[in-house]
Amino acid sequence: MTLIVGLDPARRSTAVLHLAGMLARAADTDLVVAVVLPQTWPLAAGSADAEWRGYTRDAADLVLDHAAAVLGDTVPAEYLLHDASSARRGLAELADQRDADLIVIGSSTSAPKGRIALGPESDALLHAAAVPVAIAPRGFRSAPGAVVRRVTAAFRGTESSADLVLGAADVAARIGAELRIASFAVVPPDSGTSGAGLRVEENIAQEWADDIGHQAADLLAEVSHLASAPPLGGTVIGMGDTWDAAIDRVGWEPGEVLVVGSSSLGPLARVFLGSHAAKIVRHSPVPVVVVPRRAAALDRG
């Protein structure tokens, strides 16, 4: 198992390294820590372009030196520069070349502290990646020697999200983590045109929650009979009048990651975030792993 860690050549990021270290220790695997340098064309010796390229390589080397200092000897890691036409393409190339199981990236600097935001390159990566992508919230930190203690799988009651839960169960079992199922719903306070309308929507939401709870219980029963079953942490349902409220309501612990499936609208072999998944990612207070639909189905098979 190999994890590819993508670093921004223009800035030092500690959050993504803390997440990568936590994931690598949990999976007992090594890291490939990479800075992708965008190629320029044409490149003539002695040109201003060549001078700029030398400057960016020097800056990228400093980013890798910082990464090595942060990770230290806590996990085995290889540090490299990789030339590609874009960061998205470069990380995808490395994942393919190294037969990686996961790409780990950081959040955009536009994210509120403790939350996730995607920049243009990371958003493009999520729409093109053929392997799961883990995203660190801005400012994320883990304790020294921390590993993943709990895997929470987002469940929507669909067949593809059931595949995701079973795939997450396999991962949780392999790394010795607990598995939890979580579902989320937002009921705005101004729903309906009257108090009666709001009560109707709340009743519908409660019926949905009851149905999701029954389906999740069946899934957990299936997981419990697997040859290698992880410890089970039950089912939680977060409902609130905003996404922040709904997601915060389920409670989160240090060493936890949230696993989200890609949209059924996306290409089968790739990640594609639908609006529901995108909102969960944006409001999650813990690292998120976004899984392509085909990857989840293969884990189940």
In a shared domain, residues 72 and 23: yes
Query: Mind giving me the DSSP string for 171-182?
Result: HHHHHT-EEEEE
Percent over 70 (pLDDT), the chain: 85
In a shared domain, residues 217 and 254: yes
Q: Give the separation between CA 286 and CA 4, rounded to whole angstroms.
A: 19
- For the ranges 54-68, 112-126, 141-155, the maximum mean pLDDT occurs at 141-155
Average pLDDT of the chain is 85
What is the value of pTM for the model shown?
0.87
Domain tally, the chain: 2
Q: Give the separation between CA 254 and CA 16, rounded to whole angstroms.
A: 15
In a shared domain, residues 131 and 253: no
Answer yes or no: is pLDDT of 119 > 90.
no
Q: Please report the pLDDT score of residue 197 as a whole number.
A: 55
Q: Please report the pLDDT score of residue 49 as a whole number.
A: 66
In a shared domain, residues 93 and 177: no
Lowest mean pLDDT among 182-186, 193-197, 254-258: 193-197
Indicate whether 145 belongs to any domain.
Answer: no
Structural domain harbouring 73: 2-135
In a shared domain, residues 131 and 187: no
Residue type, 180: R
In a shared domain, residues 157 and 286: yes
The residue that leads in pLDDT, 35 or 277, is 35
In a shared domain, residues 92 and 205: no
In a shared domain, residues 154 and 296: yes
Query: Among residues 135, 159, 184, which one ends one of the domains?
Result: 135
Cβ neighbours of residue 133 closer than 8 Å, sequence gap 6 or more: 102, 103, 104, 105, 125, 126, 271, 289, 290
In a shared domain, residues 131 and 207: no
Query: Among residues 135, 169, 188, which one ends one of the domains?
Result: 135
Answer yes or no: is pLDDT of 272 > 50.
no
Cβ atoms of 268 and 295 within 8 Å: the answer is no
Indicate whether 141 belongs to any domain.
Answer: no
Q: Please report the pLDDT score of residue 160 as a whole number.
A: 80
In a shared domain, residues 155 and 293: yes
In a shared domain, residues 162 and 217: yes
Confidence of residue 127 (pLDDT cuts 50, 70, 90): confident
| Cross-sheet strand order for the sheet of 288-291 | 77-84, 30-38, 2-7, 102-105, 133-135, 288-291, 256-261, 150-154, 178-186, 232-240
Q: Each residue of 58-96: pLDDT tens digit?
A: 889 999 999 999 999 889 999 999 999 888 899 999 999
Average pLDDT over residues 117-134: 85
Indicate whether 140 belongs to any domain.
Answer: no
Indicate whether 181 belongs to any domain.
Answer: yes
Q: Please report the pLDDT score of residue 65 as a whole number.
A: 96
In a shared domain, residues 116 and 219: no
Q: Please report the pLDDT score of residue 270 as a whole number.
A: 41
Query: Among residues 105, 135, 165, which one ends one of the domains?
Result: 135
Token pair 């201003």: residue = 48
Q: Give the separation between CA 261 and CA 296, rounded to whole angstroms.
A: 8
The residue that leads in pLDDT, 16 or 300, is 16
- CATH number of the domain that 273 lies in? 3.40.50.620
Dihedral, 256, 132, 120, 79 alpha carbons, nearest 10: 90
Indicate whether 282 belongs to any domain.
Answer: yes
Average pLDDT over residues 203-225: 90
Indicate whether 49 belongs to any domain.
Answer: yes
Confidence of residue 125 (pLDDT cuts 50, 70, 90): confident
Q: Each residue of 22-63: pLDDT tens digit?
A: 999 999 999 999 999 877 555 555 566 667 777 788 889 999
Average pLDDT over residues 216-239: 94
